[in-house]
Amino acid sequence: MLRLHMTLRKIISFIPPEYKEQEKWHLKIITDRCKGCLFCINFCPTELLESSPEINSKGYHPPKIKDDMDMDDCAKCGFCELICPEFSIFLEKEEDTTGAKK
Amino acid sequence: MTISEEKVDDTILEAKRHPMDYLLRWDRLPHVWCSGCGLGSVLSCFIHAIAESGIDTKKIVVVSGIGCTGRASGYLDLDVFHTTHGRAIPFAIGLKLANPELKVIVFSGDGDLFAIGGNHIIHAARRNADITVICSNNFIYGMTGGQLAPTTPMGAWTSTSPYGNVEPNFNLCHLVASAGAIYVARWTSLNARRLQASMVEAIKKKGFSFIEVIPPCPTTFGRRNDYEEGIKMLEFFRENTIIRHGIDPGDAELNLGNKIVVGKFVDKEDKPTLSDHIARIQLFAKRR
């Protein structure tokens, strides 16, 4: 599975940048709201997230992106935002400040 | 070669505000609901539905009763009303009759709406009062310590039925549909997208619309019934939920052994509402 994943990423890295998605998306989190219910981790369609070893101010482990994955693997479905009971994690499009090509 | 060539985002960024915070009293967060409780997901779907429906937020009123779900009104930055136990629907009907321009939504739990307020909801459905009711059915009286509720499935273990429940439970959708509701749907809190779309549909509907949501309750229901974590109950929902649109809600019983039948059961059009009748009678009275 991991090998297939790395192969796919190699293929993607050969695509010239002008054909790549221009929009940049970020996963953001308000750490202190998280109560560690694991909903976002278990029901992510691409299994992007895992529990972080660090703890927040309430003593829960907030989610983090897996070490071998990054935001290119995110499906941008926003299901984590919808199902998060604490209004903690959300998906946000980066504001276009650099004047990138359209 | 692969990863380090261009800068990639491999961390979750820290933020201060959530994009939906404009509908929330964010200074009250984090809320009182337990870790693993699904009520937050239902509230999240609700505020996304309000944002998607495009209705002016100054014209939306959310009324809630007592109970775990009743706390939801305290976290919404809309016109909200936290009423006495079981009387959310009379307050909502009063608001709607006093100002017919308002969009009145009742957001409450099963104990509040169907146990102490049971009569109010069937008569609101009979009159076709122009309100939307979102009832989250967690099978139990959660806030008071997990006592037996009218919605507890037969055989479930609660703190007041230590050898299992011996009473048959209410089928909320069937009850409301029989009393004359024009829109009846049931979803679990895991069907978040469908729940959100259903809420938008129900809010825009003219007449008595009803949505039953099933969130996980790990602390009081799950702990005694082998679902001690919210995630375990959601996994159960994922494997045991079937979607049946348009079936007779009488066939969609909620029992422990059976699959959970969800979907949009009733969707009728153009039934005169209570507000229509009142407006007609007011016109008649003025003419005399």
Residue of A nearest to B189 (CA): A83
Q: Which two tokens stand for residue B50?
A: 């309000």
Residue A15 has pLDDT above 70, yes or no: no
The confidence score (pLDDT) of residue B119 equals 93
Cα→Cα distances A24→A80, B29, B43, B149, B196, Å: 18, 29, 28, 48, 26
Amino acid code (one letter) for B52: E
Q: Do residues A82 and A88 make contact, with C-beta atoms less than 8 angstroms apart?
A: no
Q: What pLDDT is recorded for position B29? A: 83
Please give the ipTM for the structure prediction: 0.85
The token duo for B47 is: 């505020």
| Mean pLDDT value across residues A31-60 | 91
pLDDT at residue B5, rounded to an integer: 43
Beta bridge partners of B186: B212, B263
A63/B3 Cβ within 8 A: no
CB A91 within 8 A of CB A80: yes
pLDDT value of residue B14:
87
- The confidence score (pLDDT) of residue A70 equals 83
Q: Taking 90 as the threshold, does the pLDDT of residue A16 lie above it?
A: no
Over residues A69-89, mean pLDDT: 89
Among A22, A31, A37, A89, most B C-beta atoms within 10 A, so best to mutate, is A37
- Spell out the domains of chain B, with CATH numbers in brackets: 21-287 (3.40.50.970)
How far apart (Å, rounded) are the C-alpha atoms in residues A26 and B245?
A: 36
Q: How far apart are CA B107 and CA B70, in angstroms?
A: 7
Residue owning tokens 């998605």: A21
What residue of B is the nearest CA neighbor of A42?
B231
Task: Report pLDDT for B248.
Answer: 93
**For each successive 10 residues of chain B (288 residues), what is the average pLDDT?**
50 87 89 92 94 93 93 92 93 93 94 92 93 93 91 92 91 93 94 94 93 93 90 92 92 87 92 91 92
Report the gap between the CA of B79 and the closest CA in chain A (Å): 20
- Per-residue pLDDT at A69: 86
CB contact under 8 A, A70 and B9: yes
Which SS3 state, helix, strand or coil, does residue B24 take?
strand
Nearest chain A Cα to B47, which residue?
A: A82
* Interval B149-208: pLDDT, tens: 999 999 999 999 999 999 999 999 999 999 999 999 999 999 999 999 999 999 999 999
pLDDT at A62: 92
Q: Which of A27, A67, A87 is the closest to B18 by Cβ?
A: A87
Give A97 to chain B, closest Cα distance, Å. 17
CB atoms within 10 A of CB B276: 15
In this structure, of A7-16, A55-64, B175-184, B249-258, the range with the lowest mean pLDDT score is A7-16
- Is residue A21's pLDDT more than 60? no
